[in-house]
């Protein structure tokens, strides 16, 4: 029997929220599901989404370029790219970050690699090499900078 209003309990500890429950309830109503069928679908949706999150994260952590000890730097670089093109303060940036978090794609290794490489390419250039003993650039005269050596007459 199709209930007038579904009484669905969202499983704890997952990425789903009330908007997911509402969407599933609307779908259940269209398909004339019982409350038990709708609850089973919500529980399955929770399990699949949680498994996707877990899979993405373990693949990311094991990735040779952006995982393990490189993960923190990769996240900094990826955030740099996102902040440049879609800042969190923009509607698109806020929506993208929300969807990436909810779906688990914020930990999807190919996406993290892409954003990390973009962010790394955008990083500020490093200064000229420095003198090993003082940490400061070795002084050079104008002739050697401009012409590669001293001018002789």
* Domains in the chain: boundaries: 18-121
Structure tokens at 120: 């790394």
**Which residue has tokens 């400061």?**
136
pTM of the model: 0.74
Within a 13 Å sphere around the CA of 65, how many CA atoms are in the beta-carbon half? 12
85 has pLDDT over 60: yes
Alpha carbon distance 12, 133 (integer Å):
58
Query: What is the tens place of the pLDDT at every residue in 29-84?
Result: 999 999 999 999 999 999 999 999 999 999 999 999 999 999 999 999 999 999 99
């Amino acid at each position: 029997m199709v209930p007038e209003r579904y009484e669905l309990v969202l499983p704890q500890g997952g990425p789903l929220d009330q908007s997911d429950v509402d969407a599933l309830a609307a779908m259940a109503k269209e398909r004339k599901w019982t409350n038990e069928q709708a609850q089973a679908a919500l529980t399955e949706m929770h399990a699949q989404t949680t498994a996707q999150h877990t899979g993405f994260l373990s693949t990311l952590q094991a990735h040779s370029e952006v995982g393990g000890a490189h993960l923190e730097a990769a996240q900094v670089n990826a955030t740099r790219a996102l902040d440049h093109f879609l800042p969190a303060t923009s509607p698109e940036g806020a929506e993208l970050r929300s969807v990436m978090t909810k779906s688990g794609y914020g930990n999807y290794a190919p996406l993290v690699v892409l954003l990390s490489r973009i962010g790394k390419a955008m990083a500020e250039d490093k200064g000229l090499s420095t003198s090993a003993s003082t940490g400061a650039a070795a002084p050079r005269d104008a002739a050697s900078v401009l012409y590669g050596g001293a001018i002789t007459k």
